[in-house]
Chain A
């Protein structure tokens, strides 16, 4: 464990977790650039630097090691920085902290650099196999391979001393740990375990990083972060080595920042005041009012999907935004999280009583439909669906609707049927929300309260607007005269 300057009063302690083949000193550069108020604690993960190889070398054991060091250090405020492999470990530790594990309170920030995502790492099999063959042919070959490794993971050559240190770190790594990560740790699927983290997170990606660059971070990492933000640097994979100053600046700004983070709920989506008064009025029955109030509750930005994977939930949010774009023009109007609400419904088993026989059960159809959409994007547009702009996403959805969406997964015909379900589910959740009812000027909820004799509508004036009925939003054409007017 390497520590920078002693902590000042309310300094935040950042535990820094290195990449494969790195060590605590991978962080010397950024650590030196970070000013007061931040204390960096570099950690040698098991099997790397000076920490011996543990009995088992899985993400769980690496996280155990880090959690123990955090507990011993007992910081009041702390954060986690992780590069590549270290980021996956950081995610695992953050999950424990958010779950309230003893001794881990006070986690405030998460910085993930070229992070290995919770899902199995998308590394080409050939490269993985090559790296597994390394370090078996004597010291001279070993050094050459270590050099190749470091050079391949930066976008421009490192200064000689830094390069030297990085190569030494690779060489002193326990090669069992090296291989364990490549065969086990990187392939572990932590998607469900990590779920969606609430801790504010900064995701750094190197533009020149082949496997874990900006696209991979958007598609595989951000879905797990309720309050995550992506920053792209001109760099390769080993960001703290290649861009110590920029990394330090980004971290410093992020750690200092308080207030709102992207994705933080703007509070509940509410209908306008007149409609809220309408809901509260005696024209609406208690039962309907209670149901509407429940529906108006704010969505949780860190909603943890119960049926979908976090990545599928992110895909569904993206699809919902295209299918049913919600304007947030008026003050205090956020958007309704249709995707989260749908997941909750799927989890509750509240189906609509049928499904097209050619589709798998609803929850599975959603997961697979979304994955198919993503596969089409990767195939056709060369990038994940989440990295396409609106027009690009629309183009794919049009293909789906035309029954022409071909990729591994659901068939074009299944995708067509599934997309119909998506549209139906989207409008059902959207239109049943009181904020939407208000926008439509829908008065049906007020057709009877709880009085002994219900009032309904005046049958001799169904072509008039009764004074209590909400107004139709501005649009073409005449509005109805009010009854009695």
Chain B
């Protein structure tokens, strides 16, 4: 039987000044909590969502909406971003309860995009500063991957690669004949039974394909199967169903407590320091609502979303896209394509998909309706998909602001304006050509392209200078020295790699910085 994250019985009193309150238990919050607890600090994570034990998940897309952040957000700009199922989760474990577990490492060039191209923005440190943390995360959460990673021969993954599904097989063959390198994807899941401290057994991946509905046997890594049980072992408290709505400060302007709602009641937890890890929408919303840390005017700005173009086709055999780990093949050949008319680049991955998600994309993105729609939907078992994750430049005017409507938390609903720029459109166009070529080579017909963007990135960027960044390179706010941020919001640029591995590495690194363990 698979393990489970057991929440501790004991609860810190609200009046007790805990060392650190961590808001959010996702990719940023979970490793922060684990690291601080391991150092012996008294830490509490306040999590808006509910506990979701692996076995309670449901292999059904409608039921699984419980894993998404469903409080309404407003989407503006010329490419309004769907929220909810498209990009944000909730629960003890955050978005890693439903994520795809596709974990490429960031590319060193992407962190130096401005130096390389004059566009975008450099990170305040290079890949070498992150590398030890990336390796540590891969080990801690047990990433599976190929023996030889073509773009980084020195790399080793702790677990053997996951089985390829049919889309991956088709992509591998087609890439091979086109001379594009492709290999088994690094995936944050175990391919053999693995003991995880504090959790129990993570059973080997059973290729059920339901990663986005929550992994029912703990194979997939998430905070709930890895960092959070480790944190609990080390004495951390995780307080679910607690929505933080405010931050209190003392006479010196330092954080002294957080205000949160639990069971409809407002409460206050006192603390000596605060880590905001609520994600790139909720963290800036909270700061804007509280009126904090925004002397630079940067809170909410530079909202980014990865270019996430997909190409779908139909083949003359059954594919059954629900089967197998969804994104089991990767190509990094397009991280800097030779014929690029844009800066940056993208990763290619094969796709698996569940029918409601697919149908929704078809109806919205392909624009089909009527008989054409029902006829096409009937092709579900024969469709095959391939997609990308492409860099996105930061633009000041792509930003999150507070609307004048309130949601159930009593806070203003966020309004997120996002307009893809020319660089993003060029990446999309390039990807459309490459992906279509691959699928044509694979013998697919009736190809169509889904224009799509994914992930919520930016809005509280880190940087060397408090005039145009919200936190420094370690994650500490320039304005309030006991307020730290660690989640997808601190990214100064989007990178072509999917974000979660990097966020987890940043989590460990920021926690080390907080503990004074990072060299100056």
Binding site for B on A (CB under 8 A): 285, 287-288, 291-292, 295, 322-327, 350-358, 361, 394, 397, 401, 420, 423-424, 426-428, 430-432, 436-437, 439-445, 447-448, 452-460, 462-463, 465, 469, 472-473, 475-480
Contacts and interface: CB of A to CB of B under 8 A. Distances in A.
B382 A291 contact: no
A462 B319 CA distance: 9
Contacts of A458: 207
Given A288-B63, A476-B316, A459 B80 contact: no
Contacts of A426: 363, 369
Given A430-B359, A462-B164, A477-B316, A354 B324 contact: no
Nearest to B369: A323
Contacts of B69: 353
A384 to B, nearest CB: 21
Given A442-B381, A478-B316, 5 more contacts: A323-B373, A352-B65, A401-B369, A462-B166, A465-B318
Interface stretch (B70-78, B147-155, B239-247): B70-78
Contact of A440 (B1, B363, B380): B380
Nearest to A460: B163
Interface in B349-376: 354-356, 359-360, 362-364, 367-371, 373-374
B480 interface: no
The 10 closest A-B pairs by CB, nearest first: A353-B84, A456-B206, A477-B316, A459-B163, A354-B83, A444-B322, A447-B208, A423-B363, A427-B359, A456-B208
A291 B205 contact: no
B370 A394 contact: yes
Given A354-B83, A401-B367, A457-B206, A285 B58 contact: yes
B498 interface: no
A439 B315 CA distance: 18
Contacts of B81: 354
A441 B381 contact: yes
A356 B76 CA distance: 6
Q: In this complex, which of A358, A436, A452, A455 has the most chain B Cβ atoms within 10 angstroms of its Cβ?
A: A436
A416 B316 CA distance: 34
Contacts of B65: 350, 352
22 contacts: A285-B59, A285-B216, A288-B60, A325-B370, A325-B374, A352-B65, A353-B68, A354-B81, A356-B80, A357-B80, A401-B369, A426-B363, A428-B62, A445-B60, A457-B209, A459-B205, A460-B163, A462-B207, A475-B382, A477-B315, A477-B382, A480-B320
A448 B59 contact: yes
B166 A428 contact: no
Interface string B42-72: 0000000000000010111111010011111
B378 interface: yes
A354 B82 contact: yes
Q: In this complex, which of B205, B359, B379 has the most chain A Cβ atoms within 10 angstroms of its Cβ?
A: B359
A462 B165 contact: yes
A339 to B, nearest CB: 15
Given A397-B369, A420-B364, A448-B206, A428 B318 contact: no
Contacts of B217: 448, 453-454, 456
B452 to A, nearest CB: 13
Nearest to B63: A291
Q: In this complex, which of A355, A357, A453 has the most chain B Cβ atoms within 10 angstroms of its Cβ?
A: A357
B420 interface: no
B377 interface: yes
Contacts of B379: 475
A440 B355 contact: yes
A292 B59 CA distance: 11
B166 A431 contact: no
A465 B323 CA distance: 10
A324 B370 CA distance: 5
B88 interface: yes
Given A291-B60, A420-B364, A440-B378, A452 B1 contact: yes
A400 to B, nearest CB: 10
Interface in B69-105: 69-76, 80-85, 88
B46 to A, nearest CB: 21
Nearest to B318: A480
B169 interface: yes
Given A423-B369, A427-B373, A448-B208, A432 B72 contact: no
Given A354-B75, A431-B377, A472-B381, A291 B58 contact: yes
A363 B362 CA distance: 23
A291 B57 CA distance: 12
Interface in B185-241: 203, 205-210, 216-217
Given A353-B73, A423-B363, A427-B360, A444 B382 contact: no
Q: In this complex, which of B1, B315, B323, B415 has the most chain A Cβ atoms within 10 angstroms of its Cβ?
A: B323
B168 to A, nearest CB: 9
B380 A442 contact: yes
A446 to B, nearest CB: 8
A457 B377 contact: no
A354 B84 contact: yes
B325 to A, nearest CB: 9
A322 B60 contact: no
Given A456-B208, A462-B164, A462-B165, A432 B356 contact: yes
B265 interface: no
A452 B3 CA distance: 11
Contacts of B203: 453-454
A432 B323 contact: no
Given A454-B216, A457-B207, A463-B166, A357 B76 contact: yes
A322 B72 CA distance: 29
A355 B169 CA distance: 37
A318 B362 CA distance: 21
Contacts of B417: 357
B425 interface: no
B74 A355 contact: yes
Contacts of B207: 456-459, 462
B399 to A, nearest CB: 13
A288 B208 contact: no
A472 B62 CA distance: 22
Nearest to A463: B166
A325 B323 contact: no
B317 interface: yes
